Amino acid sequence: MIEKRQFYINGQWVNPVAANDLNVIDPATEEVCAVISLGDQADTDAAVAAARDAFPAWADTSLQERVALVKKLRDIYMARRDDMSEAMRMEMGAPIDLATNGQWGSGTWHLDGFLEALDSFEFEYAMGADRMRKEPIGVCAMITPWNWPMNQVFLKAIPALLVGCTMVLKPSEIAPLSSIVFAEMMHEAGFPAGVFNMVNGDGIGVGSQLSAHPDVDMVSFTGSTRAGIAISKAAADSLKRVSLELGGKGANLVFADADEKAVKRGVIHCMNNSGQSCNAPTRMIVEHSRYADAIQEAKAAAEATKVGPTTEPGRHIGPVVSELQFNKIQGLIETGIKEGATLVAGGLGRPEGMNKGYFVRPTVFADVTPDMTIYREEIFGPVLAISSFETEAQAVQMTNDTVYGLTNYIQTQDDEKRLRVARQVRSGMVETNGVGRINGSPFGGYGQSGNGREGGTWGLDEFCETKAISGVPMA
């Protein structure tokens, strides 16, 4: 068991003001794997004050200095790959191969993307006779989730560092270990005291304190829509900027002319990370003439999805993150059955042979209609809902029949139809025919999926203010 009680504030590890301990549970074993302390108002105030004091000098450093430190961080992150991967395996249940590759690799992928984006990002440029400047917004509170820990920390911390912001990170109290390792790396890299600070805490405590803090200039949050609404309300009194990356209920439109692997690919994508991704294609909407075949293909793909221990190598999925999440998913599977959806694969309970850990059976429902709960609610587990459509117009209408708008997916060999439909669906991202987004493409959504855009030049701009200066022309 790891015991970590300290916070990282003003360039050093400090003890919390009050010892309010919390056990971190390994979801694969249901055993305590670490003990952390939750911060209180005094800890939050100290971290914000450190970031505020450090901001003027950090904002005044040259871009070259900031880039050099970020590159040094990258070298340390590479060298400590095993430490970071093991932390994520324990805290959120990622199988070791996923933790070592996808989960860990997302950090360097985004870091490299931001460094590349700097080549086309203009901090100062002419607009007619005026001079436009991009300046760091100030002290940023970063509240990150448990499902892709380093993916989200790097999407927030790296662009903020590069443009000259200082920050306070509050990782999820469910999965704090990877952020503790990240703070160790920041310290080793030699960032000036106060530029980066980390305080563990829950949403009601440190999260709310940061959101309402008068000396915080911006809150960047990734998590549930419910929490995003609460943060926006808390931040409103001080009119600070709030950037939100929230939930999703992505539709995967499978047209009759989709390639033969489209359904299998969609199931695998839905089940990845045990279904715990906000951009997962959890609604598969299939053209009627292909619907019967798609159900059988989805059944086969789900039954081929292995569930296993996080310590074993392989492409299997692990547990969901917590008992609370496990119970929520079980309740929604039960609701799907009661409301009349056809259970095609999986179902209630743990996979066969497992009696410990928060493991969920890869589950597929067919004949899911828009009035059903599993069609509308974000389940955040390995559960796929399949529906059918008759016409292209109906496919678009069903896709947009949601409060969310993060990522939608389109499968068809007709390029004109693919683009036509992509232009009509209401989401911040559209992926087609299994082709993922390039590095630097903005990540973000419409509606209750949030209002932020992370990655590339958009991610750098998120942490900047724009200033217009007249009467001083560019040379």
Q: Known catalytic residues?
A: 245, 278
- Alpha carbons 267 and 370: distance in angstroms, whole number: 20
- Alpha carbons 276 and 278: distance in angstroms, whole number: 7
- Alpha carbons 58 and 160: distance in angstroms, whole number: 11
3-state DSSP: the chain helix, strand, coil percent, rounded to 5?
40, 20, 35
Helices in 164-272 by DSSP H: which ranges? 177-189, 208-212, 225-236, 262-271
- Alpha carbons 440 and 70: distance in angstroms, whole number: 17
* CB-side neighbour CA atoms (13 Å) of 279: 19
- Alpha carbons 103 and 426: distance in angstroms, whole number: 28
Is there a contact between 387 and 258 (Cβ–Cβ < 8 Å)? no
Q: Which pair of structure tokens corresponds to residue 303?
A: 């039954």
Helices in 400-455 by DSSP H: which ranges? 415-424
Is there a contact between 221 and 227 (Cβ–Cβ < 8 Å)? yes
- Alpha carbons 144 and 110: distance in angstroms, whole number: 15
Q: Which pair of structure tokens corresponds to residue 64?
A: 């070259």
Q: Which pair of structure tokens corresponds to residue 35?
A: 């003990």
SS3 (DSSP) at 206: helix
Residues in the chain: 475
Is there a contact between 21 and 53 (Cβ–Cβ < 8 Å)? no
